Structure 1
Amino acid sequence: MTLVNGDVVHWHADAKGKGTATVEDKGAKSVFQTIESDEGFYVIPSDVEALVGRYLDRELFNVSSLVEQGYTDDAVNGIPVILQGKGAAAGTSRRGASKAPGLKVAKRLPSIASDVGTVERAGAVAFGDLLARAAARTKPGAPVQAVAGVDKIWLDQKVHVSLEDSVPQTGAPQAWEAGYDGTGTTIAVLDTGIDQGHPDFAGRIAASQNFTSETSVQDGHGHGTHVASTAAGSGAASQGLRKGVAPGAELVIGKVMDSKGSGSNSDIIAGMEWAAAQDGVDVINMSIGGTRSDGTDPMSQALNTLTSEHGVLFVVSAGNDGPGDSTLTYPATADAALTVGAVDKEGNLASFSSRGPRLGDQGIKPEITAPGVGIRAARARGTSMGLPVDDFYTSTSGTSMASPHVAGAVALLKQQHPGWGPATLKAALVNSAAPRDSVSVFAQGGGELDLARAIGTSVVSTPSTLSMGRLEFPHDGAEPVTKTLTYTNLGDQATTIDVHADLKDDKGTPAPAGMLTFAPTTATLAAGSSVEVAVTLNPSLGVNAQYSGSIMATDAADNLLAGTPIGFLKEPELYDLTIEGVQRNGIPAGDGSSVAVLDATNMSTFRRSSVPFVDGVATLRVPPGHYSVMSMIGTMEQGGGAYAYESQTMMGDPQVEITQDTHLVLDSREAVEITVDTPYSGATVVHHAIQYQRRSQKAGNLTQGWVGGDWPYYVSATDPVTMGVFNFGSKFELSASGAWMDLAYPEPGAIPADPSYVVSDQTTATVETSYYSDTPDQTYMRAAPGRLPWEGMAFGQFSNVDARTTRVEHYSANDTRFAQALVAKRPSGGLMWDRETGYKAGERLTQSWLGTPRTPNLDEGNEYTPASRPTTRLGNTLNVAIFEFGDSNSGDGVHYGSLGPFSSSDKAAFRLYQDGELYATGKRAFGTVPVDPRSRLRFELDVARDTDWWTTSTKTRTSWEFDSATTATAQPLPLLQVDYDVNVDLTNTAVHPKAGKGPFTIGLDVRHPAGAVASQIADVMAWVSYDDGQTWEQRPVKSVPGGTFQLTTDNRDGGGAVSLKVKATDADGNAVEQEVIRAYKLRP
């Protein structure tokens, strides 16, 4: 994928998330910081680092998330972004963006004064230069000036549906009996569309609009239909049994997510703007979840603005990331949203339901809960979401299912009280909800939806929840905090309220008397009148803890009129941790330096991974405890420009106890250089990397690293930790005449006092490696990032290697695993890679790349790494994964290649036949397909690559035939493989016929895939062609010792190329036929 600054990252990961991420060299000496945690794998280039998190959304550099969202070069022509403008002036950001290189603007989102655009791949380097110049001139704390009129550039993220006898549980039948079914109201549902032909929606859809790339609002996923049915389905297909909460309401449908259940932020915001502007819409349901947020994200901003402008209430699912605290996803974090958690049929909070408090301000979210477990509602035709009940209904779980119950409840209240606005509707539902005593308000808000009480509401509070925020330590002598709660009498009779609270800390201990007081405590409200009550919190009382509960307004008979959720955090004991950083030249640390502070006991409670030094100092407030404090201090060239490094130093203390204000000095002049002694004179550093891993004692893991150029790295020794895990590692790529070294040095437990290493037969393996090429003057980009034992993803940089050369390569022989990749540089393409492998000290191996013939191959793994995508059968399902390209004569390595990201030069077609009948087709031989319990199967795979630098093996056609039956476990399919051994030189050209001694022979190794049931090879036949497969001539094949075969042919004079065709069968009837057009060249 091409990042917004022009850096290109190649990503290879298995199902467990282990693999490599490698960045192409774009000519600048950049440093890349890598951060691997439960949030993803981030690659942050040093030249724009100062803008990340401030001006550039951090998620623009979360490469694992970019892959998951499909923002890769083979799928999109650039990274989609939202350009948030300065103020609300329409077109402000558009005018600036129109002048920015590489940035193309597509549409306007007026609700957040933003434009939607794309940083196009072709112009990303120029756009990156613009960002780098802005980063270089921006001082800490100063406004960023990059794209004129743009305050922030957000990734236009994709969000997803919130998936994980409900209507009566809400109290809806009592509302129906009172005459309220939603008639005269309109519910908008922004989701995956709707099944327009479902009986439960007949005559109910007032308007619809499609915002996705699909052709209509028809629901191809099933989520939107289920949600709409829960809110307002008529139940017609079930004789009224499964009708929604507001069966009399009309529906407005905005399809903002596709048949895969995902949609972009910009499409969803556009849908929000459209729905809010539709005549008569009273409530908008969004069973949608993005990532965790503090409520300042673009979608939450849009929701707040549209609520204010259009007077419509948005009801939003909380998300399904529970049971942890602060797991809410946007737009559930928006102030104006009515955020809904999920409960089961007994009213117990669902474990998956996301909890608060909201990040940043301790805001109370969700505000209400509703049924969300095992919800039966309408099923879209042709879909299988959930557990289908019958053709018309399905059952599923999630806060997505809880939210439409509340949206339907809003419609009933709106019918009852047409004049109520969004704040009053929200308050009436929250204040009348039924809380569980054992559950925090940060998990349930006011409690479970109770429509029977809501329709009788006469008194509401504004706001509907009251967060007293975060009270900073120390608390002795702290000023009281006062906020206002306004009660309004919505009834037609005067009423007297008594205000008091039920408040407890997070251990269930009641708050002390006087901690929370009210003025007045009693008030009489005339019909339609309001009273303001001052709620005062005394921070000096009570323990340091999180408090939650309810402020209750009761009448003279002690009947509850309104319950207002209240919560706050009385901050625990905190101290200043001041970290002073010093460069090796004695200058205070600044640009190019940062520090990470992590809680060594439980990282989920405190983690700051990249805190910058400002004038040499970084200060944080932390609770007492044990912390990991690790920094990378860059010593910068004076006058060398931004991020011009002389050296980098890693130092710190992975386990330091904080019991008071603490001042740490990290002086990089005290560190020692990491050195590598090699047997080659003049060996130079090409790239190197340094990293550490810190795992806390209870929960949380962070791996942080830096990959840079040829300057020195220094470290300072650390002591072993007693809490959690600490590991350190360094990596080097060294070049010498005729030799290359990929070295990695894991140091479990601590940074050593003597970080010096030696390249020898006792520490490395030696691999003689050849690089073949069809054309002269070719350069390859090669990478072999070593993955240390604790790494999930290994990060590295590509380096150039000349084609048609042979060199000695050394690899560290320890617990490190190397995964190599090779790609043509001019033109870029033709990526080949191998499976991760390890090496033994003293090993001497051979390896070659891009030798011909190049034919399809299977992932069979090796002794170090099992196959990540084997071609198998499990039960009656085939799992097919056939890579389009594999090279020959590769020695001790097995290489894989697939279609390039730009398919103009690469083409493939796959066909599956069952008992002679065409059964399935695909553009590639990847995927799963069900088959009959027993049948004769044939795979056909055609592959072609048409590009100037790839002039041999230009086309292949392979067919495999085999009998297959149901299996109890996953079994490799018996696809016969043909490995070729052709005597060609580094130009993929065979020796001249006059230079040969005797006939020209080609080795043929016909074998079964690893793990497959193997029988003896029964017959092998072969043909050659000198006219690119127009005519074929059969040639003799004989078996040779070792179980292989030998084809004898002649290499005709006069140049050109030889094409090969091979047919082979085994004793069980498994067969393969393979044609390779222009398999190798002939010397003129």
Structure 2
Amino acid sequence: MVAAVTTLAIAATAAPASAAAGSHAPTAAGTGAASAVGATRTPGATDRTPRTVTLITGDRVTVGAAAGDLTAVTVRGPGGRASGARITTVGTDTYVYPDAAVPYVAAGLLDEDLFNVTRLLADGYDDAHTDRLPLIVSYTDAAARSRTQAVPAGAERVRGLESIQGAALTARRDRAAEFWAGLTGTGPATTRAKAERPGLAAGISKVWLDGKVRAALADTTAQIGAPAVWSGGNTGVGVPVAVLDTGVDLGHPDLVGRVAESASFVPGEEVTDRNGHGTHVASTIAGSGAASGGAERGVAPGAELHVGKVLDDTGGGQDSWIIAGMEWAARDQHAKVISMSLGGAPTDGTDPLSQAVDRLSAETGALFTIAAGNSGPDMQMVGAPGAADAALTVGAVDSLDRLAVFSSRGPRRGDNGLKPELTAPGVDVLAARSQYAAEGEGYYQTMSGTSMATPHVAGAAALLAAAHPDWTGSQLKDALVSTTKITQRYDAYFAGSGRLDVSAAVAGTVFASGTVFTDLDWPYAPGQRVDQEVTYTNTGDAPVTLDLRVNAPTAPAGLFTLPAGQVTVPARGTSTVVVAVDLDLLADDKYSSGMVVATGPSGAPSVHTVVGINKEGERVDLTLKTRGPDGKALAGTVMIKDIVRDVVPRLYPVDASGTLEVSLPPSTYSAWMYADVPGAGGPYSLGRAVLAEPEIELSRDSTVTLDGRRLHRVEAIAPQVTATAQVRLDYFRSYPGRYPLADNYVVGHEYDSVWAASTGAKVSKGTFTFRARWSLVQPPLAVTANGQTFDDLLIQSGSVAFPDGRQRLDAVFAGQGAPADYDRLDVRGKVAVVRANDAVGALDQADAAAAAGAKLLLLVNNGVGRLDAWYEVADPRTPLPVASLGRDRGEELVARLGSGRTALTVEAHHAPEYVYDLVRRYNGAIPADLSYRPTRPELARVDVAFRHHRSGEGVGLRFDVSPDQPHSALSGAALPIPTQGVRTDWVTADQHNRWMELAVMPELTQTSSVVSYAGGERTDVTWFAPVARPRVLATGLTSPPVRSGEEVVVFDLPPWGDSDPHHQGMPSVAGFTQTTRLYQGDQLLAESPGGILSAPVGPDPVTLRLVTETAQDGAVLPYSTRTRTEWGFTSAPAAEGGTATLPLIQVDYQVTTDASGRAGRRAELTVAPVRLGAVAGSAGIRGVTVELSYDDGVTWQATSLSRTTDGWRTSLRAPASATFASVRTTARDGQGNTVSQTVVRAFGIR
């Protein structure tokens, strides 16, 4: 069993974040003039000196003095010509929008502050102060998943900002126009067409100004009203607040004396915060501000902190650590408030973390304030444990109450529940910095994220708890949520009820239910209404009458109504108001929200409640009947996938009745199950079957039968006798515009046959592919008796190999296989046959057989299917060769033995001499004929040679890559391979199948490129033969070196590859050292103690040198003890922001050697330089030279070369004393790319 470990990521981003201060620009334009002189305030100018700002578009805005108090703003294009632009003033800020930028601003692709000239000047971003414009970009999901994100020409990457799926860039002012063209993918001829459909290039989804927001904690505490509470003497004194995070810096001045208790729940780590996140959070809640003279106090500086370290120094943690910390905080420390700035993947609130929140809240009355997460702006991204019902889940806003782009939005997954409940300041929050953190300096640092918003709410809850010590966590939550500052522009599913306002919560005497949510299941009656109850609580000494209204701008009109417009709440009592929801007004499978606003007399502050409704759409009943080959009910597990909607497939159990009833939305579904069925070998054999209906149109209640009476055997019959090493079934279903489904099933060892039910007509929506993949091999062990072959033989895991070859041995039946069963038997040098049983374990049976001198042990299964008795044993080992027989064939053998002496012919081929890797693909439906009988002419033949210098054994695998899953290489069986030997492989050859191989020897691993074959093709493949040297493949398990934007990236430069041009060594090979360097001229750009590096190289084509040196002591390989390879090449950016493989010339070698890697003294050596990704012998290669050395490179001999179809050939002239040959090769191509490669001790000399 594989253990599942959940890692939780801290819900914070690196500072500074992308939110900006200043006013939002209006949607309407201003004057539209190219230059203007008007009665505007000087934008950000403190003197009269004209200042110029080059905008992101390359347009230059100059702000300077005119007559009197007037300010002149002029705009010129990149070339100096007057530029069309909109100059708009908003309050004290002036915006300049060049015409080219307007469509992008309107589409929300560019931050308005990029054109806020007032702010640009105030931040010192004019041309006189900086030659670069700092930017923050976010990337699309696809771009963010790539290893490197593209950077448009004219800009440089500063750092990644993973929390907002982006990066910080700086755009060079002198190349601003080039940057704009690269950012937008526009040029003079395409600008207008592009502007009509604006979109950003290079995988960028939006660009912001990386502004100097000068945020401080003093500002964020003021933003939520904390100083007003402090002024009344309430600082949260005595309220225990737990912080579950990365620990704390107990020596920070702001936290000295503030932490009452601390504990670490991270194995092997103390509570000390070496990450910095936990210290920042703790001081936001209750820091004293001592290091800033009291200026940077936390929200509740009098609260008592209890710090639990539940995340390790990298910021990650396991569920169990966190739950242990929660229990400690709630039960042991009796914390009133528990702050958790962490989160996992989005859930429906039924995960262990969320359940722990709900249960501990109910048990202890604690309030858990939890970060919503930083996975915005996508919907349904609130993670665990913030998905818990009881959690007060917090989103993040900036200083202007604008929702942060990274703040995770709701609704909650599953039921579309209302999450988050509120927001708080979480952008550029200044708080204490741990002295143990690697980043930053001084006592304070800024961070951004919902992690930073959450402690604001925790501190506010502490202040409220100090004012109402008898309140439960639920009451604290309702009071905080119902008294927020309403942020009108955001729906409740984005930002909850509004931004935290602790002064209103503490000062008020009336609060309401924070949220009321109803999740309704179908069906509904026409005209049906649902009543939601909102409760108002009055803590004052006098009754309060509240005026009520519904504010639901995003809901259908009339969806939420109030029967009464007022409610009176008695003194120190409660009143309940009913909100009526008209279900007819909400479409099926939709959710909506509104707000009930209650205003007190004489304009007294209002309280409000978010109301939400989720209306399940129409459901129809699908009855699935599962039937076996005999027509009887078949138990198993069915998977059902809605192929039209992007929802995850779901597994459903089917009990012995063979009937499954599920209620589903009308749609198109695919359903399939894998089930045990009778095998092909008799009543005790076991088969595995797939029964499927790839297309179920479900528009009304329907019954569908997965019918085993339509089963047909899925088999491949090779031209030679084979045994099945592995079978895999691939089920692929797709629909346009939706994520496809691929279900790959590897059939287990216990099955002797595989079956599938035919499905009838082909699908009419999307695509469906059923695919079978076989690994068939020369039988590793075959046993026959008088012409009968026992073909269900299964070698046991960990079994000693039976000697290769054919032997004739007598067989003896030894009952249960106990030592006593051998007392009167002579099994020495014979085959012992025993029954598997519960009384004598398999290992004891093997020990007894070995002690009696048996040469082979055959276990006859006493159950159904094929038996591997050592299958679940860790590191299994047997004292003699052991195989099992199924009960049907095994009992036949026992019967033979009971009737007299029986001789068995035993033939073994531990490492097969022939292999069939076969694939059969069925499109649209599963047919009735599932038997694949390939002939040799339709297959490709691969003659494989293994040329390791030592005798022994390794493991080989062949992967297949299907067009349905082009990014997945799926493995066939792992087969024994000889270190020295040959094998003939036959593989399916057509355009739908590609192959890749892996060969593993002791301490050495080789992988191949991805190749395809043609029918009848014959190919030679050699593994581990000299000459080993650094070798890069264009396709395979590792990526080739590339140019990505302004960066050269070497993902993994393998230190070696054998003589085959389609092979490369896997990285981190034991015994090897490697150093890689990148140069521009003589300037070192990057250096790596391995094969991975990257370096910025600018936006233009550039000539570079890539050098890698390897060394090894000969313990693993006696050859290629030292190599040096230098590639010279010209690199240019790829078109349209993509990547371009570097034009590195590879050098391949061919030399005939013996099994130990030694060549004759007059052997021929062929050298074949080839461009990466090209074919050998490409005409572009020229200027090839080869030098040979027989004294490990002390002296070199030039050679004469002859051109052949394979490359350039020379002959060795090794002296009698030579034991090794070294090779030095140079080559160039027509584009000026070069290679120089030296291999010391390239191969041996005999």
CA deviation after TM superposition for structure 1 residue 437, in Å:
6.2
**What's the counterpart of residue 1121 of structure 2?**
956
Kindly indicate whether the alpha-carbon contact (under 8 Å) linking 1:1001 and 1:1049 is maintained by their aligned counterparts in 2. Answer: no
Question: Could you tell me which amino acid in structure 1 is paired with residue 664 of structure 2?
Answer: V
**What's the counterpart of residue 822 of structure 2?**
none
Residue 858 (structure 1) aligned with residue 1027 (structure 2): no
CA deviation after TM superposition for structure 1 residue 558, in Å:
8.2
Percent identity, aligned pairs only?
Answer: 30
Judging changes above 3 Å, is the alpha-carbon distance between structure 1 residues 166 and 801 closer, same or farther for their aligned structure 2 residues?
A: same
Judging changes above 3 Å, is the alpha-carbon distance between structure 1 residues 1047 and 413 closer, same or farther for their aligned structure 2 residues?
A: farther
Q: Distance in 2 between matches of 1:487 and 1:639?
A: 72
Tell me the SS of whatever aligns to 2:611: strand
Question: Could you tell me which amino acid in structure 2 is paired with residue 490 of structure 1?
Answer: T
Q: Distance in 1 between matches of 2:533 and 2:1143?
A: 74
Question: Could you tell me which amino acid in structure 2 is paired with residue 833 of structure 1?
Answer: T
**What's the counterpart of residue 366 of structure 1?**
420
Judging changes above 3 Å, is the alpha-carbon distance between structure 1 residues 436 and 898 closer, same or farther for their aligned structure 2 residues?
A: same
2:689 to 642, 645, 648: 648
Tell me the SS of whatever aligns to 2:1212: strand
Matched residues, number: 878
Q: Distance in 1 between matches of 2:305 and 2:998?
A: 53
Kindly indicate whether the alpha-carbon contact (under 8 Å) linking 2:1086 and 2:1094 is maintained by their aligned counterparts in 1. Answer: no
Kindly indicate whether the alpha-carbon contact (under 8 Å) linking 1:909 and 1:921 is maintained by their aligned counterparts in 2. Answer: no
Question: Could you tell me which amino acid in structure 1 is paired with residue 557 of structure 2?
Answer: T
Q: Distance in 2 between matches of 1:643 and 1:920?
A: 65
CA deviation after TM superposition for structure 1 residue 268, in Å:
3.2
Question: Could you tell me which amino acid in structure 2 is paired with residue 3 of structure 1?
Answer: V
**What's the counterpart of residue 103 of structure 2?**
none
**What's the counterpart of residue 627 of structure 1?**
668
CA deviation after TM superposition for structure 1 residue 367, in Å:
1.9
Kindly indicate whether the alpha-carbon contact (under 8 Å) linking 2:329 and 2:335 is maintained by their aligned counterparts in 1. Answer: yes
Q: Distance in 1 between matches of 2:428 and 2:453?
A: 10
Residue 262 (structure 1) aligned with residue 262 (structure 2): no
> CA offsets per residue over residues 548-593 of structure 1, 9 Å max, x none?
33456665668676433333434322222110011223332213xx
**What's the counterpart of residue 898 of structure 1?**
1067
Q: Distance in 2 between matches of 1:967 and 1:271?
A: 53
**What's the counterpart of residue 595 of structure 1?**
638
Q: Distance in 2 between matches of 1:400 and 1:929?
A: 33
Residue 473 (structure 1) aligned with residue 518 (structure 2): no
CA deviation after TM superposition for structure 1 residue 332, in Å:
0.8
Judging changes above 3 Å, is the alpha-carbon distance between structure 1 residues 695 and 194 closer, same or farther for their aligned structure 2 residues?
A: farther
1:571 to 602, 611, 616: 616
**What's the counterpart of residue 1013 of structure 2?**
839
Question: Could you tell me which amino acid in structure 2 is paired with residue 687 of structure 1?
Answer: Q
1:731 to 760, 766, 773: 773
Question: Could you tell me which amino acid in structure 2 is paired with residue 586 of structure 1?
Answer: G
TM-score, length-normalised on structure 2? Answer: 0.61
Q: Distance in 1 between matches of 2:1086 and 2:517?
A: 58
CA deviation after TM superposition for structure 1 residue 358, in Å:
3.7
Kindly indicate whether the alpha-carbon contact (under 8 Å) linking 1:195 and 1:225 is maintained by their aligned counterparts in 2. Answer: yes
Question: Could you tell me which amino acid in structure 1 is paired with residue 678 of structure 2?
Answer: E
Kindly indicate whether the alpha-carbon contact (under 8 Å) linking 2:679 and 2:686 is maintained by their aligned counterparts in 1. Answer: no
> CA offsets per residue over residues 787-835 of structure 1, 9 Å max, x none?
33345424334232442122132233113322222334xx6x6443223
Tell me the SS of whatever aligns to 1:785: strand
Q: Distance in 1 between matches of 2:683 and 2:436?
A: 57
User: What runs of 5+ residues in structure 1 fail to find an aligned partner?
Assistant: 6-66, 69-164
Residue 431 (structure 1) aligned with residue 486 (structure 2): no
CA deviation after TM superposition for structure 1 residue 289, in Å:
1.6
Q: Distance in 2 between matches of 1:260 and 1:246?
A: 28
Question: Could you tell me which amino acid in structure 1 is paired with residue 1121 of structure 2?
Answer: T
Kindly indicate whether the alpha-carbon contact (under 8 Å) linking 2:622 and 2:698 is maintained by their aligned counterparts in 1. Answer: no
Residue 705 (structure 1) aligned with residue 744 (structure 2): yes
Q: Distance in 1 between matches of 2:390 and 2:581?
A: 28
Residue 317 (structure 1) aligned with residue 357 (structure 2): no
> CA offsets per residue over residues 529-562 of structure 1, 9 Å max, x none?
x447496989987655535334566656686764
User: What runs of 5+ residues in structure 2 fail to find an aligned partner?
Assistant: 5-145, 148-218, 780-912
Q: For the pair shown, which has the larger CA radius of gyration, 1 or 2?
A: 2
**What's the counterpart of residue 788 of structure 1?**
963
Kindly indicate whether the alpha-carbon contact (under 8 Å) linking 2:264 and 2:308 is maintained by their aligned counterparts in 1. Answer: yes
Question: Could you tell me which amino acid in structure 2 is paired with residue 646 of structure 1?
Answer: G
CA deviation after TM superposition for structure 1 residue 730, in Å:
3.0
Kindly indicate whether the alpha-carbon contact (under 8 Å) linking 1:482 and 1:537 is maintained by their aligned counterparts in 2. Answer: yes
Judging changes above 3 Å, is the alpha-carbon distance between structure 1 residues 231 and 575 closer, same or farther for their aligned structure 2 residues?
A: same
Question: Could you tell me which amino acid in structure 2 is paired with residue 450 of structure 1?
Answer: D
CA deviation after TM superposition for structure 1 residue 396, in Å:
5.7
Judging changes above 3 Å, is the alpha-carbon distance between structure 1 residues 963 and 703 closer, same or farther for their aligned structure 2 residues?
A: closer
Q: Distance in 2 between matches of 1:640 and 1:376?
A: 73
Kindly indicate whether the alpha-carbon contact (under 8 Å) linking 2:727 and 2:773 is maintained by their aligned counterparts in 1. Answer: yes
Tell me the SS of whatever aligns to 1:883: coil
**What's the counterpart of residue 387 of structure 2?**
333
Kindly indicate whether the alpha-carbon contact (under 8 Å) linking 1:1059 and 1:1075 is maintained by their aligned counterparts in 2. Answer: no
2:1152 to 983, 994, 999: 983
Q: Distance in 2 between matches of 1:648 and 1:1076?
A: 56
> CA offsets per residue over residues 168-202 of structure 1, 9 Å max, x none?
44344544555555566565443345677877667
**What's the counterpart of residue 50 of structure 1?**
none
**What's the counterpart of residue 816 of structure 1?**
993
**What's the counterpart of residue 942 of structure 1?**
1111
Judging changes above 3 Å, is the alpha-carbon distance between structure 1 residues 224 and 815 closer, same or farther for their aligned structure 2 residues?
A: farther
Kindly indicate whether the alpha-carbon contact (under 8 Å) linking 2:1043 and 2:1131 is maintained by their aligned counterparts in 1. Answer: no
Residue 422 (structure 1) aligned with residue 591 (structure 2): no
**What's the counterpart of residue 882 of structure 1?**
1053
Judging changes above 3 Å, is the alpha-carbon distance between structure 1 residues 980 and 511 closer, same or farther for their aligned structure 2 residues?
A: same
Tell me the SS of whatever aligns to 1:712: strand
Q: Alpha carbon RMSD of aligned pairs, Å?
A: 5.0
Question: 1:109-124 residue pairs with structure 2 within 5 A?
Answer: none
Q: Distance in 1 between matches of 2:1071 and 2:1008?
A: 20
CA deviation after TM superposition for structure 1 residue 983, in Å:
1.3
Tell me the SS of whatever aligns to 1:267: helix
Q: Distance in 1 between matches of 2:683 and 2:607?
A: 59
Q: Distance in 2 between matches of 1:782 and 1:198?
A: 56
Judging changes above 3 Å, is the alpha-carbon distance between structure 1 residues 559 and 374 closer, same or farther for their aligned structure 2 residues?
A: same
Judging changes above 3 Å, is the alpha-carbon distance between structure 1 residues 655 and 227 closer, same or farther for their aligned structure 2 residues?
A: same
Residue 666 (structure 1) aligned with residue 706 (structure 2): yes
Q: Distance in 2 between matches of 1:1049 and 1:702?
A: 60
Question: Could you tell me which amino acid in structure 2 is paired with residue 810 of structure 1?
Answer: V
Residue 695 (structure 1) aligned with residue 730 (structure 2): no
CA deviation after TM superposition for structure 1 residue 667, in Å:
0.8
Kindly indicate whether the alpha-carbon contact (under 8 Å) linking 1:512 and 1:542 is maintained by their aligned counterparts in 2. Answer: no
Q: Distance in 1 between matches of 2:1203 and 2:1103?
A: 36
**What's the counterpart of residue 1048 of structure 1?**
1212
Question: 1:999-1078 residue pairs with structure 2 within 5 A?
Answer: 999-1005=1162-1168, 1009=1172, 1020-1024=1186-1190, 1037-1042=1199-1204, 1044=1208, 1046=1210, 1048=1212, 1050=1214, 1058-1064=1219-1225, 1074=1238
Kindly indicate whether the alpha-carbon contact (under 8 Å) linking 1:286 and 1:314 is maintained by their aligned counterparts in 2. Answer: yes
Kindly indicate whether the alpha-carbon contact (under 8 Å) linking 1:597 and 1:627 is maintained by their aligned counterparts in 2. Answer: no
CA deviation after TM superposition for structure 1 residue 451, in Å:
2.4
Judging changes above 3 Å, is the alpha-carbon distance between structure 1 residues 990 and 962 closer, same or farther for their aligned structure 2 residues?
A: closer
**Larger RCO (alpha carbons 8 Å, 6+ apart):** 1
Kindly indicate whether the alpha-carbon contact (under 8 Å) linking 1:442 and 1:567 is maintained by their aligned counterparts in 2. Answer: no
Residue 741 (structure 1) aligned with residue 908 (structure 2): no
TM-score, length-normalised on structure 1? Answer: 0.69
**What's the counterpart of residue 210 of structure 2?**
none
CA deviation after TM superposition for structure 1 residue 316, in Å:
0.8
Question: Could you tell me which amino acid in structure 1 is paired with residue 452 of structure 2?
Answer: M
CA deviation after TM superposition for structure 1 residue 317, in Å:
0.9
Judging changes above 3 Å, is the alpha-carbon distance between structure 1 residues 420 and 512 closer, same or farther for their aligned structure 2 residues?
A: closer
Question: Could you tell me which amino acid in structure 1 is paired with residue 730 of structure 2?
Answer: Q
CA deviation after TM superposition for structure 1 residue 208, in Å:
5.5
Question: Could you tell me which amino acid in structure 2 is paired with residue 466 of structure 1?
Answer: V
Tell me the SS of whatever aligns to 1:766: strand
Tell me the SS of whatever aligns to 1:654: strand
Question: Could you tell me which amino acid in structure 1 is paired with residue 539 of structure 2?
Answer: L
